[in-house]
Amino acid sequence: MRRFDTPVLENRELSRDYRRIEVEWPGDAGTPAPGAFLTVGVSGTTDPLLRRPFAFSGYDPREGRAAFIFQIRGPATRLLSERRPGTVLDVLGPLGSGFPDPAPGSLPVLVGGGIGLGPLVFAAREFRLRAAAGGWEAPVLVLGFRTADQVPALDLPEGSVLCTDDGSAGFRGTAVEAAERAAAGGRYGPDAPPVFYACGPAPMMAALDRRAASLGASYWAAVEQWMACGVGACLGCAVRLKDGSFARACAEGPVFDGTSIDWGAM
Amino acid sequence: MRRFDTPVLENRELSRDYRRIEVEWPGDAGTPAPGAFLTVGVSGTTDPLLRRPFAFSGYDPREGRAAFIFQIRGPATRLLSERRPGTVLDVLGPLGSGFPDPAPGSLPVLVGGGIGLGPLVFAAREFRLRAAAGGWEAPVLVLGFRTADQVPALDLPEGSVLCTDDGSAGFRGTAVEAAERAAAGGRYGPDAPPVFYACGPAPMMAALDRRAASLGASYWAAVEQWMACGVGACLGCAVRLKDGSFARACAEGPVFDGTSIDWGAM
Amino acid sequence: MNPDLSVRIGNLVLPNPVGVASGTFGYGSEYESLMDVDALGALYTKAVTPEPRPGNEVPRIVETPSGMLNSIGLANPGLEAFVRDKLPELRRRRCPVLVNVAGASEDDYLRVLERLEPEDGISGYEINVSCPNVSHGGLAFGTDPALVERLTARLKRSLRSARPLIVKLSPNVTDIAEIARAAESGGADAVSCINTLVGMVIDVDRRRPRLARGTGGLSGPAIRPVGVACAFRVSRAVAIPVVGIGGILEARDALEYLLAGARAVQVGTGNFRDPGTAARVLEGIRDWMVRNGASRMEDIPGMLDA
Amino acid sequence: MNPDLSVRIGNLVLPNPVGVASGTFGYGSEYESLMDVDALGALYTKAVTPEPRPGNEVPRIVETPSGMLNSIGLANPGLEAFVRDKLPELRRRRCPVLVNVAGASEDDYLRVLERLEPEDGISGYEINVSCPNVSHGGLAFGTDPALVERLTARLKRSLRSARPLIVKLSPNVTDIAEIARAAESGGADAVSCINTLVGMVIDVDRRRPRLARGTGGLSGPAIRPVGVACAFRVSRAVAIPVVGIGGILEARDALEYLLAGARAVQVGTGNFRDPGTAARVLEGIRDWMVRNGASRMEDIPGMLDA
Ligand SMILES: Cc1cc2nc3c(=O)[nH]c(=O)nc-3n(C[C@H](O)[C@H](O)[C@H](O)COP(=O)(O)OP(=O)(O)OC[C@H]3O[C@@H](n4cnc5c(N)ncnc54)[C@H](O)[C@@H]3O)c2cc1C
Ligand SMILES: Cc1cc2nc3c(=O)[nH]c(=O)nc-3n(C[C@H](O)[C@H](O)[C@H](O)COP(=O)(O)OP(=O)(O)OC[C@H]3O[C@@H](n4cnc5c(N)ncnc54)[C@H](O)[C@@H]3O)c2cc1C
Ligand SMILES: Cc1cc2nc3c(=O)[nH]c(=O)nc-3n(C[C@H](O)[C@H](O)[C@H](O)COP(=O)(O)O)c2cc1C
Ligand SMILES: Cc1cc2nc3c(=O)[nH]c(=O)nc-3n(C[C@H](O)[C@H](O)[C@H](O)COP(=O)(O)O)c2cc1C
Ligand code: FES
Ligand code: FES
């Protein structure tokens, strides 16, 4: 974990809604992992005031480059969208826990919706690369969008499933439905039980929680919660667990065993 | 007086300290005059919050272009310095009173220091163009700077006098000294009394006030005062007059009969 | 569906909920060429005091993070000059004009109201008991519930005016709800909140306060969360209408106040940033009402899920 | 000239005037890898209460113009777990550690202090009578001068501690100087100000407050002018040192407090924006002192031309 100013290498539009920023990532700054995040100082003035968290969407240790994918939602992401390559970005990271590896023999099904797509694109690439070594199945990546013009221009791993609410691109329906189908289509059974990895909007997570429960499947969820410090100091990013306690999304998370989270309180 | 969004045509560095922005100025927005100003909304976020006032440094009615010269001093001017041509600027103007014409037979001596240079460059051009018609002498423009690297790359009218505190460019000494010399060098006397036009930092204005008093010369001063509304509504920009009353820099000013101002209270 | 935007305060019906705040809009004519002043829900004038006041020494304003401090000091031409020089043009307005009144004593307030009561062209009064920028009166009144109640009751009783009397509350108190209840007990037709917060900026290079008077009043978006919290608390403490003020730049800002319980709002510092603010805010409120199925202003407070 | 940056508070000498504010720095280790925690002038812990507190429902934070609201709700592991799990690592710090203490009753405060008094590794106490985010105690104490005086006196008398006791003041009062004087009369060694302002943000799309608890505490640059005005007034009302807090991001912000009369400062929300803030602020204060010929911290307040 370090705070540093680093050059923006690329700031590219991926679709109507998404952009991708790639920055130089020095080797001694720590290793970005899928599910982990960085925070970005976006402004030289006092509004926006706080740093903004973004999950890593990729990391290339040889080239020394890390990336994140973001959606323009408000003032900070608007300012970020205007950052030109060559200017420097105020970055703090890597922060938070990453996705744990799939168990040997399991089929990782990665489900991303909305701004959750970045970490799952990253995880899909990683899990694929290390599938043989780790002994798990080749992962299936499922990404859900509202409409075709949201779908980002990204090289997705082979076998990825796209879906849109209106069927304008890929599979028509929700990412959770598609993920369940993908899990069933795999060698679903005692020797390749599915394990879901998910990040997305609250309704998607709630749907997945129900489906995972009825399948008896385990799943890892990267949660989003308003953050102030990003390093575990302010207790702002609390996530309610089913046992009634709170955990910090930035420190114990953002990746949690999905079944431990009280989604109703999110 | 209108508020409108207008394209930036040019944003050029004039020297280490000064930049010039030129914008499209529609004919129906009113006529910028030397001494008058516009206010600029600089930010889409709430910091900086208020519009910033800048004096016109030029206006070309045929081309529909108006300009101002500014110095990077704080957050708003820093943001302005990054505005690229083609983007739009939120502009409100023209505001305030301009410099009155010189009396027939008089010698206008225009003295500018620091950020006061814009309106005087503008006035010099105008008074020169209209000297024959108005019956006054060709104006003398005197601009003062600290050092040579502050001197802006501008086409100044013939006969202009530059001075620097350290003599690194032009005349060594203050703009007020140079202005007094220029006035004396003119046909100074009953048939061509000098009239000063001035805008600059407080010490310069105080010096001019003393010199004008001892010469018995009249002078017009464009004052600077913190402004919130720029249109006369908030009473924030009050200027103390010698009679003890207050006037609004944005409405009764920014140009005042210099001898009426209580410079000690500024 | 075209929502009904009118708002009733006492006997007065405002055509729409978006007014402009005292001290930020002069007497209206200053903004004449920049927007349609007559389309405002209400125009609150700069404070009027019995005697002319030159105002405080300069500098009087300084910008702060997402806000500004002012120490104008109730500068105004005084009651007689107001009636003579400002009222004629105000009288020609087609929007409601509410005169903001200030003073150093109860008598001062009463004197201004008694003089204005017979004059046409005034829709109501806003009693400024909350100005932080004067040494006597102003804020002192506004922090003591007993004084607020007594002043309000005296003004209501002596005047027996058909025009509504709005008491403008200060946030610089321990319990703004208590002051609001005092105004209500005194007979106020509405309360408006908030006036500015006491603040100070120091120039560390020159080692002196930025404002000649030292402290000033903080306004702008920086204080909006404070204003919304006040409007929320006050609207639960009194039955009379609440007018929300503080940091409104956009329709969503105004809607925060309306959902918090305010019946109308005023735009202050926002006018400085964009003279079109009030019109834009009104348009956005209308759109929101259509989208959210609110047909009258009174519907909005009940729509908050709190 | 190398200025002397030390600051005395009661018997305690802080190595420099720049501390980090309670609730914004956890227990120090969170920032370990990002900056030199041991170089801080003081580390004020998150509030400690007798019993463990889970804190308020989520969301607990929301950004506002140049500020933020929090309603953490004094979440902390409780006195025993603090002593067991947090104190050992705090004890190893080379910077002064001051424990921020909160409670719902006088007895609560006393209980925490009595338990902590025999423990090593604590340099002082900051009594939080000003938290707006809990239903009992907290803010209630902080708004009543009689309660503040009584609480302070009781803690001083019962404890007879050599460690300084700092009372942390709320800006949500009519007269903060009066509360400060009450703390001084009660025997406080210093007062710190300000805690957060009560604020509220409403999500107008979902029509509910952004914070689960409705209101929260406003911090950050937005409130700096309020904090500086409070420090100015309080430092003129009491003879004990004042610790300035609120919206400090840069050395010049801290210098506003110091010129206003504060003897030391705390960085809160600024840590979230840049963990290097405290170090940067300290460096800038040192430079300013050299440039302006101040050789000791006590010189600075007298340098204000007000
Ligand atoms: C651990 C983590 C990882 C994230 N990763 C990504 C990512 O990879 N790509 C991406 O685009 N975004 C990501 N986000 C969200 C991102 O931080 C916000 O979109 C961003 O802060 C918005 O800033 P803004 O000023 O543009 O908009 P704001 O005006 O701050 O917010 C716009 C709207 O977005 C929502 N929002 C913003 N921040 C949060 C939050 N922290 N929690 C819940 N809702 C929020 C709110 O509804 C708000 O109204 C992540 C958030 C967290 C906590
Ligand atoms: C009528 C008028 C005409 C002006 N014309 C020009 C111009 O032609 N070119 C130009 O460069 N500037 C001009 N200014 C000043 C210009 O408005 C400020 O430099 C600008 O607002 C600074 O904004 P900022 O955010 O960059 O800096 P800020 O941080 O706002 O200010 C930086 C410093 O500049 C000084 N300052 C800023 N604004 C004022 C003010 N209104 N009065 C006195 N001191 C101030 C203060 O010392 C402050 O610390 C004019 C001001 C007025 C009132
Ligand atoms: C320059 C200025 C002058 C003001 N003068 C007055 C006044 O005369 N009477 C009054 O009641 N309020 C006065 N106010 C307070 C505003 O009416 C309003 O309550 C406050 O600014 C908060 O709203 P805002 O954040 O939208 O500006 C003044 C505010 C400003 C900024
Ligand atoms: C997230 C958060 C938690 C806080 N928790 C506490 C606390 O436990 N005890 C306390 O006295 N103050 C607490 N505060 C208040 C700060 O210590 C400080 O007084 C306030 O934030 C103003 O300073 P700032 O503007 O620099 O943040 C908290 C502030 C924040 C932002
Ligand atoms: S964001 Fe501060 S504890 Fe997680
Ligand atoms: S700036 Fe508002 S009156 Fe001049």
Q: Per residue in A51-102, pLDDT tens? A: 999 999 999 999 999 999 999 999 999 999 999 999 999 999 999 999 999 9
Is C142 close to ligand 3, i.e. is its CB under 6 Å away? no
Mean pLDDT of the residues in chain C: 95
Q: Which CATH architecture has domain B107-226+234-265?
A: 3-Layer(aba) Sandwich (3.40)
Degrees, nearest 5: CA angle C208-C212-C216? 100
CB–CB contacts below 8 A, C to D:
142
Distance (Å) from the alpha carbon of C88 to chain D's nearest alpha carbon: 39
What's residue B234's pLDDT?
Answer: 97
* CA distance readout (Å), D42 to B8, D3, D118, D279: 50, 18, 20, 12
Ligand 2 site-directed mutation target among B77, B239, B252, most atoms within 8 Å of CB: B77
CA distance A163 to A146: 8
pLDDT digits (tens, 9 = 90+) for A126-148: 999 999 999 998 899 999 998 88
Contacts of D216 (CB under 8 A, 6+ apart): D60, D61, D62, D69, D70, D71, D132, D133, D196, D198, D199, D200
Q: Residue D41: name the closest of D13, D18, D7 by CA.
A: D18
Cα separation, C240 vs C248, whole angstroms:
22
Each residue's pLDDT, cut to its tens digit, for chain D (306 residues) gives 699 999 999 999 999 999 999 999 999 999 999 999 999 999 999 999 999 999 999 999 999 999 999 999 999 999 999 999 999 999 999 999 999 999 988 999 999 999 999 999 999 999 999 766 555 555 667 899 999 999 999 999 999 999 999 999 999 999 999 999 999 999 999 999 999 999 999 999 999 999 999 999 999 999 999 999 999 999 999 999 999 999 999 999 999 999 999 999 999 999 999 999 999 999 999 999 999 999 999 999 999 997
pLDDT given at position C151: 94
- Residues A2-95, CATH architecture: Beta Barrel (2.40)
Q: Which residue range forms the structural domain that includes residue C89? A: 7-53+74-198+219-303
**Which of the following is catalytic: C95, C131, C193, C230?**
C131
Mean pLDDT, chain A, rounded, equals 92
Give the angle subtended at the CA of D202 by the CAs of C174 and C272, to the nearest 5°.
80
What is the total count of domains within chain D?
1
Q: Which atom of ligand 1 is nearest to the CA of A250?
A: 1
Residue A166 DSSP code: T
Residue type, A241: L
Distance, CA of C241 to CA of C248 (rounded, Å): 18
For residue C89, give Cα distances in angstroms to C32, C38, C115, C120.
Answer: 11, 12, 18, 11
Interface test with C, best of B2, B234, B239 (most C CBs within 10 A): B234
Cβ of D72 closer than 6 Å to ligand 4, yes or no, is yes
Whether residues B229 and C63 touch (CB distance < 8 A) is answered with no
Give the CB-side neighbour count of residue C191, counting CA atoms within 13 A: 37
Within-domain flag for C112: yes
Residue A191: pLDDT band by 50, 70, 90 thresholds? low
- In the block, tokens 């001084």 appear at D184
D279 touches chain A (CB under 8 A): no
Q: Is residue D83 part of a domain?
A: yes
Give me the total of CB pairs closer than 8 Å, taking one residue from chain A and one from chain D: 102
Residue C246 belongs to some domain of the structure: yes
**Residue B233 Cα to ligand 6 middle (Å):** 6
Residues in D closer than 8 angstroms to A239, CB to CB, are: 58
pLDDT attached to residue C132 = 65
Q: Where are the domains of chain B?
A: 2-95, 107-226+234-265
pLDDT at D136: 55
Burial of A190 (0-12, 13-18, 19+ CB in 10 A): exposed
Describe the strand order of the beta sheet including C215-219 as a list of residue ranges.
C61-64, C67-70, C215-219, C197-200
User: pLDDT tens across C207-248, in order?
Assistant: 999 999 999 999 999 999 999 999 999 999 999 999 999 999
Q: How confident is the model at residue B157 (pLDDT cuts 50, 70, 90)?
A: confident
- Are D276 and D303 in contact, with CB atoms under 8 Å apart? no
- D66 part of contact set with chain B, CB < 8 Å: yes
Nearest CA residue ID for atom 21, ligand 3: C219
| CA of A126 vs chain B CAs: smallest distance (Å) | 39
Q: Are the C-beta atoms of C74 and B54 separated by less than 8 Å? A: no
DSSP string, B134-188: HTPPPPEEEEEESSGGGS----PPTT-EEEETTSSSSEES-HHHHHHHHHHHSS-
Residue of B nearest to D222 (CA): B47
CA atoms within 13 A on the CB side of A107: 20
- Predicted ipTM of the assembly: 0.96
Of B229, B240, B252, best ligand 6 pocket probe by most atoms within 8 Å of the beta carbon: B229
The DSSP line for D2-26 is --B--EEETTEEESSSEEE-TTSST
Tokens of A230: 């990003």
Please report how the helices C224-237 and C251-260 are oriented relative to each other, as an axis angle in degrees rounded to 10: 30
Span A45-65, pLDDT tens digits: 999 999 999 999 999 999 999
Topology alike, domains B2-95 and B107-226+234-265: no
Local structure of B19: helix, strand or coil: strand
Asked if C70 lies within 8 A of B237 by C-beta distance, the reply is no
Q: What is the mean pLDDT of chain B?
A: 92
3-class SS of residue A216: coil
Please give the distance, rounded to the nearest whole angstrom, from the Cα atom of residue C268 to the centre of ligand 3.
6
Residue B155: per-residue pLDDT: 86
pLDDT value of position D113: 97
Residue A47 and residue B47: Cβ atoms within 8 Å? yes
Residue D205 dihedral angles phi and psi, to the nearest 5°: -80, -45
In whole angstroms, give the CA distance from residue D243 to residue D22: 13
**At a CB cut-off of 8 Å and minimum separation 6, what does C50 contact?**
C78, C79, C103, C108, C111, C112
| CATH classification at residue C244 | 3.20.20.70
pLDDT, one tens digit per residue, over A213-227 is 888 888 999 998 999
Q: What's the predicted TM-score (pTM) here?
A: 0.96
CB distance B124 to ligand 6 below 6 Å: no
Residue B216: per-residue pLDDT: 83
Residue A145, both tokens: 């969008």
User: Could you give the 3-state DSSP secondary structure of residue A3?
Assistant: strand
pLDDT at B190 (0 to 100): 60
3-state secondary structure C162-216: CCCEEEECCCCCCCHHHHHHHHHHCCCCEEEECCCEEEECEECCCCEECECCEEE
Q: Is the pLDDT of residue B232 over 80?
A: yes
How many Cα atoms are found within 13 Å in the side-chain-facing hemisphere of C283?
Answer: 7
Residue B140: exposure state from Cβ atoms within 10 A (0-12, 13-18, ≥19): buried
Residue C168: per-residue pLDDT: 97
pLDDT above 90 for C276: yes
For residue D59, cis peptide bond before it (omega within 30 degrees of 0):
yes
Q: With contacts defined as CB-CB under 8 Å, which chain B residues touch C60?
A: 226, 235-238
Lowest mean pLDDT among A5-14, A189-198, B50-59, D115-124: A189-198
A59 forms bridges with which residues in the sheet? A66
